[in-house]
Structure 1
C-alpha cells in the first residue's frame, strides 16, 4: 500500500505539481497544471450553481449574491492569514491563494448580482431610502477594495493597503448587512457564519498574543535590540545595508526551522504603530527560545526607519518596545532524508541558517538521517558573502 501511495505521489508531482504552464509574472503565477485544474473546477462549480434551474437573469443574480456570501466565509474567517494557515496546517502562500481566489470570485459574483438586479423590471433605486444608501456604500467599498487589491497598486503602498483592506472590508460588511432584507434569513445566515468564524479565530489569537508576549506575567513586554551591520557596504556601495534584531522574550517559546514571526514596534516611526512586519527567525535551538534573532534587509517604511535609527548609534544596539505574534509557518521535513540540497540567493542565506543548525545538530547527535548536505548560494558580489558571514558570527 505504501508503495502505491509513493508511486502516485511521484506521478502527481511529475505531471501535475511541478510543470508550470503559466510561469511567474509580476501580476500572477507561477501556476502549475494542478493549480490551473483547481481554478478551472472552482469557476465551473460556481457557474453551475448559478445557472442550475434558473428561469431568469434576476433569479440567477439573486443566487449569485447568496453564492458570493458563501465564498466570503473563508476570506472573512480570520484577521490574520498566518494564524489561519497555522490552524489549517497549510502554508501561508497556499492560504493567500485561497483567500485571493475566493475574494475575486466573490467580487465577480456580486458584480453579476448588481448587473442582474438592474435588468429586472421591478428595479427601483431611490437614494432617499436608507437601505439603498447602505447598498451604495457597500458597493463602493467593494469596488475600492478590488481596485487597491490589484498587484501593481498593492505593491506600491503595501502597508497602507493592509489597513485600508481591513477598513473597507468592515464597511462592506456593514453595508451588506443593512442591504439584506429581513424576510430572507438564509443570506443573513451566511453572513453570520462568517462573523462567527471571525470571532472564533480572533479570540484565541488575542489570548495567544497576550500569553507569548507576557503581558500579564509581570516580566514586562519583549524588547528588541537593533544593531547596525555595515560590513561590506563601504567596499561595495551597491550592497544594501542590514540590521540585526535581538528580541528578548519574557516567556520562552518553541520555534522550528523555517518559521517566522510578525513583529510590531510602535516607537520606530510615526506610522509604525499601524504596521506589523513578518521576519524569518534565523536562530534555532533544540529546546525553547528565550531570545529570537532576526536579520532585516530594509525595503521601505518601518524597516528603512529601523535601519536609520540603528545606523545613527554605531557601536551599541538601540532598544525598542516590541510585540510579536507567532511563530507562524510550517517547517520543511528533513528528518527522513540522507541527502539535502539547500538553494539560496543573496540575503536569503539567512533563512537557511536554522535548517543548517538543525541538520548539523541532528547529524552530531544521530537524531536525523542526514549524511550529505549541499548548499548552493548565488551572490552578486563578495560583499554579500562578507555581510552574511558577519551576521552569522554575530549570532554566535
Structure 2
C-alpha cells in the first residue's frame, strides 16, 4: 500500500483518498445546500405571514369588520390547508414520561420526530450512496476506506451546525424568527447524530487496520489518529452529559464543563482533519466568535446604559453605577419575586432576560421570563421595571432565597442583565385567544394577555386559564388581571378568567378573602352584560376529590361574597378547585371564533403533552381550513426547562 500521503483524516490519508475526496466534498456541499433550502423555506413562510398581517391591517382600516386570518381566495385557502396539515402532524406528543428519571427520556413531539427522520434519511443517503462496493468493482480493495472517508466527511460537515444551533445569536434564528431556545433540541440531536457517524468513520478504518495487523503501527506512525479518538470521546462525553438529568444536577458545573468540552472538541478536530477539510472547523470557530462578540457587546451596553442615562439627565456621574438594582422578596419557600427598577430598554411580552446577581453566584447568569409589559405597551408614564417570578431550585435560586431569609425581608442587590432574548409569538393574526399556564408559567401568558388587550384591536374574545397548586399565587398578578378585565369592558371584548387551584382545599375561604382577584371597589358592574365565551366556567373541573360538594359550595360562597363587594360578573371570572377539562375550556372558544384561534400555553411536559394532543385532535375533528368553514387553530407551547 502506498504510504506516501499519510497526513490526514482517519489517520490514513493515503493516495486512495484522492479517489474519494471530490465526491465526498460534493456531498458535503449538498448537505449545506439542503440546510440553506430548509432555512429559506422557513424564511419564505415568515415573509408570507408578515405580509398577510400587513394586508389585514390595511383592510381593517378600510373595512373595520374584516376578520383576520380567514382565507378569501383559493390561493390563501390552499396555503392555510397545507399549514394546517403540517400543524396537525407536528402538534401531537405520543409519549410523556413522568417518573423521576424516565421524564428525561420523553421523546420529542411528533413534528420534531418527523423532522429528525427526514434529517437522518439525508445523513444515511450521504453516508451510504455509492460506498457499498461489490467484488466486481475496480475499487473493491478500498471497500473499507471508502466508507471510512465518507463517514469522516459526513461527520465533519455537520460540526458547524451544532455550533450554529447552540448560539444565542445564530443566523438560523435571526432569519427564520425562531428563538434560540426552540432550536436547542435540534442542537442536541445533531450532536448525537455526529457521535454515531464518527463511530462508522473510525470502525471501518480500524477494521482495515486489524485485517492487515496494522493497528499498533498506525497508532505509532499517525498521531492524528489519537486526536481523532480524543475528539470522538469528547463529543461522546458531551452527548451523555447533555441529557436533562445531568444538566439538572448542577447546571452551573454542567455549563462550565460543556463550554470547555466544546472548545477542546474544535482543537482536537482541527488537529485531526487534513487542511482541505479544516474549513469546517474555522466555520464553527467563526460562529462561536460571532455569537460571543454580539452577546458580550449587548450585555456590556445594557449594563452601562443606566450610567449613560443618568449622566444625560442629571449631568452627574458620582452616583452612577454599572448594572441595575434588583429588589428581591421571598414569597414562599418555593418562590421569589424580583423587581429590577429603572430599566432603560424595552422588551416584547413573552421574552426573557438572563439575570446575574454576584452576591448569589459570581459569574452566574440564569434565564427568567419577564412577567410584566413595558410602558410602550401600556402607555403608562414613569420608569420601566422588570418583574420576575422565580421558582426556587438548587444552586443560584436557592442561594438567593437564603440571602433574603437571612436579611428577614425584601433585599436589594446589584444585578446585571443580558437580553432581552427570545422570539415571542405574534398575536396580530388571531381574533380569538386562549392563554393557559400552570404555576409561574403565568409569567409568560399574563404579558401576552395585557398586550392583546392593549394592541389587538381585532380581538373578539379571550379566555385566560391559570392552574396553580396554592391559592397564595393568586396575589401575583391580581392588579394585572383586573387591569386586563377593565380594559376588556371598555373595548367590548368577550373575556373570561378561569383560575384552577389543585391544592389548599381546606383554606379556600380564607385565602380567597386575602388574595381574591375580585377585591377592587373601582371595578364597574357588568351584571347585565352578556359575554360570548362559553357559559358555566365551573364545568371544566374534572376531579375535585372526595370533598367535591363541600369545595364547590365554598367556591360559590367566596365568589358571591367577592362579587357582591366588587360588582363583578361571575361569568367573567371564576375560581375553582381541581384540574381543568381542556375540552370544556377550549372548544367553546374555537366554535364561536370567526377567524383563527391562537392558543398559547406554558407549563411542564405533562401539561404541554395534553394540550398538544387535544389541539391536534380538535383541529382534525373540525377539519379546519379544509373546506368545512371551520377556522384555523394555532398552538404555541412554552415548556419549562426548554
Q: CA deviation at 1:90?
A: 0.4
Q: Quick one: distance in 2 between partners of 1:245 and 1:48?
A: 51
Q: Quick one: distance in 1 between partners of 2:166 and 2:242?
A: 16
Q: Aligned pair 1:75/2:167, yes or no?
A: no
Q: Secondary structure at the match of 1:337?
A: coil
Q: Aligned pair 1:255/2:340, yes or no?
A: no
Query: Which digits, 9 at most, give the CA deviation of each residue in 1:297-322, with x for residues without a partner?
Result: 211100111111122223442222x2
Find the counterpart in structure 2 of residue 343 from structure 1: 436
Relative to structure 1, is the Cα distance of residues 374 and 78 closer, same or farther in structure 2, using a 3 angstrom cutoff?
closer
Structure 2 counterpart of 1:36, from 110, 113, 116: 113
Structure 2 counterpart of 1:107, from 172, 187, 195: 195
Q: Quick one: distance in 2 between partners of 1:284 and 1:22?
A: 35
Relative to structure 1, is the Cα distance of residues 357 and 387 closer, same or farther in structure 2, using a 3 angstrom cutoff?
closer
Structure 2 counterpart of 1:275, from 353, 361, 364: 364
Q: Aligned pair 1:66/2:167, yes or no?
A: no
Find the counterpart in structure 2 of residue 17 from structure 1: 90
Relative to structure 1, is the Cα distance of residues 51 and 319 closer, same or farther in structure 2, using a 3 angstrom cutoff?
same
Q: CA deviation at 1:256?
A: 0.8
Structure 2 counterpart of 1:385, from 474, 478, 484: 474
* Higher CA-based Rg: 2
Query: Are 1:344 and 1:377, in contact at CA under 8 Å, matched by a contact in 2?
Result: yes
* Structure 2 alignment gaps of length 5 or more: 1-74, 134-142, 312-319, 378-382, 483-642
Q: Quick one: distance in 1 between partners of 2:342 and 2:264?
A: 37
Find the counterpart in structure 2 of residue 237 from structure 1: none
Find the counterpart in structure 2 of residue 326 from structure 1: 419
Find the counterpart in structure 2 of residue 87 from structure 1: 174
Relative to structure 1, is the Cα distance of residues 384 and 286 closer, same or farther in structure 2, using a 3 angstrom cutoff?
closer
Q: Secondary structure at the match of 2:371?
A: coil
Query: Are 1:229 and 1:391, in contact at CA under 8 Å, matched by a contact in 2?
Result: no
Q: Quick one: distance in 1 between partners of 2:362 and 2:221?
A: 40
Structure 2 counterpart of 1:197, from 264, 273, 287: 287
Find the counterpart in structure 1 of residue 637 from structure 2: none
Q: Quick one: distance in 2 between partners of 1:249 and 1:136?
A: 52
Structure 2 counterpart of 1:148, from 226, 238, 241: 241
* Structure 1 alignment gaps of length 5 or more: 234-239
Q: CA deviation at 1:209?
A: 2.0
Query: Are 2:303 and 2:322, in contact at CA under 8 Å, matched by a contact in 1?
Result: yes
RMSD: 2.9
Q: CA deviation at 1:170?
A: 0.9
Query: Which digits, 9 at most, give the CA deviation of each residue in 1:112-151, with x for residues without a partner?
Result: 2121221123544436965355344333322322221233
Q: CA deviation at 1:13?
A: 2.1
Q: Quick one: distance in 1 between partners of 2:449 and 2:281?
A: 46
Query: Which digits, 9 at most, give the CA deviation of each residue in 1:133-190, with x for residues without a partner?
Result: 53443333223222212333232222211111110111121112112234xx1x2121
Query: Are 2:148 and 2:205, in contact at CA under 8 Å, matched by a contact in 1?
Result: yes
Q: CA deviation at 1:29?
A: 4.1
Q: Quick one: distance in 1 between partners of 2:303 and 2:162?
A: 27
Matches within 5 A, 1:108-147: 108-121=196-209, 123=215, 124-126=217-219, 130-147=223-240
Relative to structure 1, is the Cα distance of residues 83 and 384 closer, same or farther in structure 2, using a 3 angstrom cutoff?
farther
Q: Quick one: distance in 2 between partners of 1:83 and 1:263?
A: 21
Query: Which digits, 9 at most, give the CA deviation of each residue in 1:63-100, with x for residues without a partner?
Result: 21221111111222376446667524203443112211
Relative to structure 1, is the Cα distance of residues 349 and 329 closer, same or farther in structure 2, using a 3 angstrom cutoff?
same
Find the counterpart in structure 1 of residue 271 from structure 2: 178
Find the counterpart in structure 1 of residue 58 from structure 2: none
Q: Secondary structure at the match of 2:348?
A: coil
Structure 2 counterpart of 1:164, from 251, 254, 257: 257
Length-normalised TM-score, structure 2: 0.53
Length-normalised TM-score, structure 1: 0.84
Query: Which digits, 9 at most, give the CA deviation of each residue in 1:330-354, with x for residues without a partner?
Result: 2222233332111111222232221
